[in-house]
Chain A
Amino acid sequence: MPEPRRRRAFDIESDLARRRDEAFGSGWDEVTSSIEPLSNITVGVEEITITLDVPFVDQKQVRVQVHGKDILEVYAKTKRTVRFDDLGIKHRSGEFTCYRALVNLPEHVDGARATHHLKRGILEIRLPKLR
């Protein structure tokens, strides 16, 4: 039987983010002024593809990192500070300046060969699998 994976700092942080999201709905983190984007993951034969919906982001402001072999961290700074008030959201005040996502990958990947590009506000990250 495979040994259960030890919970790492990222797992815990990811869990906390999920719980925050369950509690407040939007995935907004007041401390880091960040918001968790909508995302999608597709597992192919050769690679894992992740897309994230990141309106108001420029390609140059995206940072993608793979920690270990199976944790993806994405940071994408918005072109401007987005206030909830600007979006017509009046019942809570706040703002965010970046998107932040931590993704537990289902398989090991080669982070050094990761590529990403932004088109139509969708960030697509391709992660070749480790053989």
Chain B
Amino acid sequence: MESIIVVERKEIPQGFTLINGLPDVGLVGVLAVSHLVSSLEMEEVGSIESEALPPLVVLHKGLPKPPMRIFFKESLAAIVSETAVPSDAVYGLADAVVKWAVSKKVKMVISVGGMAVQNRQNIEKPKVFAALTDESLIEILGHSAEVLQEGYMVGPYALILKKCLDSRISAVTLLAQSFYNYPDPEAAAAVLESLERITGVTLDVSELLQKGEEIRLKAKDIMRRTQEEMSKMSKSQEYEVPPLYM
């Protein structure tokens, strides 16, 4: 397995809340956390590097950037990826992120994503669900998300949640009802409202809704590549029901 390392280009103080926005169902995490980063004007402080990731850089304002970057402001850090996570890199990525979170004495890890529903186009306001490492987090969630009681999770967020549990880090995965393979800015807006409740940060999500069509077109290519990787990791298993009730 290729090694994956977290590179801090600027000093990041310990004890922050870490928010993950990785490409997944409906690109909800990427759209939501990108919006968070730009709204809060978070500073780019590091990146995640590996030969397991595609050999590419992203150009922003003429400068080459790693596709998976870390942003920071006050007590919040955010990881956002502008490239699909290869299915082969999922274990290594989850391991690297959680080990880094442990080393930084992170208060809580919040992963943001989507949960595919077949009738999405008939849903006015996507509901948000949450998977938690411990029940004490239910109070923090309030009515902003419904706790997932049974089911499968597949992909990087599933492993991050489990590794956080193993490492005794509080972790929440917020999943908004979304399209499976179409970028879903409305779902991103819905999940950000739950994130506001947990972090106390206030965000204006109107841009996500007003520029929804444009955002969907811009995100088309990364959505297509993400879909290919989701297929490789049997993401559709999330639709299935676990056989054991224990």
Q: By the criterion CB–CB under 8 Å, are A55 and B217 in contact?
A: yes
Q: Interface size (A, Cβ < 8 Å)?
A: 19
The reply to whether A38 and B182 contact each other, CB–CB distance below 8 Å, is yes
**A87 touching B214 by the CB < 8 A rule?**
yes
Say if the beta carbon of B143 comes within 8 Å of chain A.
no
Contact of B220 among A38, A56, A86 (CB under 8 A): A38
With A91-B59, A119-B121 as given contacts, are A38 and B213 in contact (CB-CB < 8 Å)? Answer: no
**A53 touching B216 in the complex, CB below 8 Å, given contacts A38-B181, A38-B223:** yes
A87 to B214, CA, bound (A): 7
Tally chain B residues at the interface, Cβ within 8 Å: 21
Q: Are B121 and A55 in contact (CB under 8 A)?
A: no
A-side contacts of B214, CB under 8 Å? 55, 86-87
A121, B220: Cβ atoms closer than 8 Å: no
CA distance A38 to B225 in the complex (A): 11
- List A contacts of B206 (CB < 8 A): none
| Chain A residues with CB below 8 A from B8, complex form | none
A53 and B220 contacting across the interface, CB-CB below 8 Å: yes
Contact present for A122 and B217 (CB under 8 Å): no
A-B contact pairs, 5 of them (CB 8 A): A26-B221, A38-B182, A38-B224, A82-B217, A87-B214
Which residues of B approach A to under 8 Å, CB–CB?
59, 120-122, 179-183, 186, 212-214, 216-218, 220-221, 223-224, 227
A-B CB proximity, top 8 nearest: A55-B213, A53-B182, A120-B121, A119-B121, A122-B121, A55-B216, A87-B218, A56-B213
